[in-house]
Structure 1
Amino acid sequence: MGDVEDYLATLSGAERDAVARVYERARALVPDVEEGRSYGMPALRYRGSPLVSAMVTRTHVGLYPFSPDVVAALAGDLDGFRTTKGSVSFQPDAPLPDDVVDRLVLARRDEIDARAR
């Protein structure tokens, strides 16, 4: 097991489903990710950089693409969700749509790829 799988094992119900869905989508889109930690959070890493993390907080689920630029670029897709410079918050029973998660993950992947060139 890795950091993400260990973290998922601590969750249950709608919270687990919502967090697991983010990681499932990311793994399907970027199959060569590795489990690890970034900024103390369980995360999927791509090419040595953090790709995405999703965690339950006291009041919501947070999705962290580790990039203020990615969050800003997709602001139009995030109407109705609380955002900060580097995160998107949602409720477990009202998760981000899969297509929005996909765009966040792919934008972050593309950002990492561009830096590697």
Structure 2
Amino acid sequence: MTSITDHDAYIASAPEQFQPSLQRLREILRRVLPEAEEIVAYSMPGFTIDGTVVASYAAFSRQCGLYLLAGAIAEHAEEIAAAGLTATKTGITFTPRKPIPDDLVERLVRTSRQGVVG
């Protein structure tokens, strides 16, 4: 992807099969983080509160990723594993065929937010 400056452009430039998943994720993040500012940092769209990136997302050639503060991933590790998803210290990868359940996204983002405004 070329230099992207906003979420709409990022989603539009992502592989077509990932665009609906990215749009859904953005909508959930906007709803759960109404006070956050939408940014693009490190070529990924994200949401920041008080200068801290609380959540971001990305599309790659074979999957998408949701990135949060490490505490959120750790706190929900069992739920992530139960959903059959792969996680690192700060991210979860998913595909349109195996998305992150919306309710899990909401819990993860709320937990990540607590790490900033706790």
State TM-score, norm by structure 2: 0.85
Contact 1:51 / 1:109 at 8 angstroms: preserved in 2? yes
The equivalent residue for 2:73 is 71
Partner of 2:89: 85
Where do 1:23-102 residues align within 5 Å? 23-65=26-68, 67-79=69-81, 80-102=84-106
Cα drift, residue 12 of structure 1? 5.5
- Deviating above 4 A after TM superposition, structure 1's stretches of 4 or more consecutive aligned residues are none
Match of 1:106 in 2: 110
Alignment RMSD (CA, Å): 1.6
Counting matched residue pairs gives 112
Give the letter for the 1:6 counterpart. A
* Structure 2 unmatched ranges of 5 or more: none
Any idea what the Cα deviations from partners look like across 1:2-25, whole Å, max 9, x if unmatched? Answer: 521220121364401111111100
Between 1:30-39 and 1:81-90, the stretch displaced more is: 30-39
Measure how far apart 1:69 and its partner are.
1.6
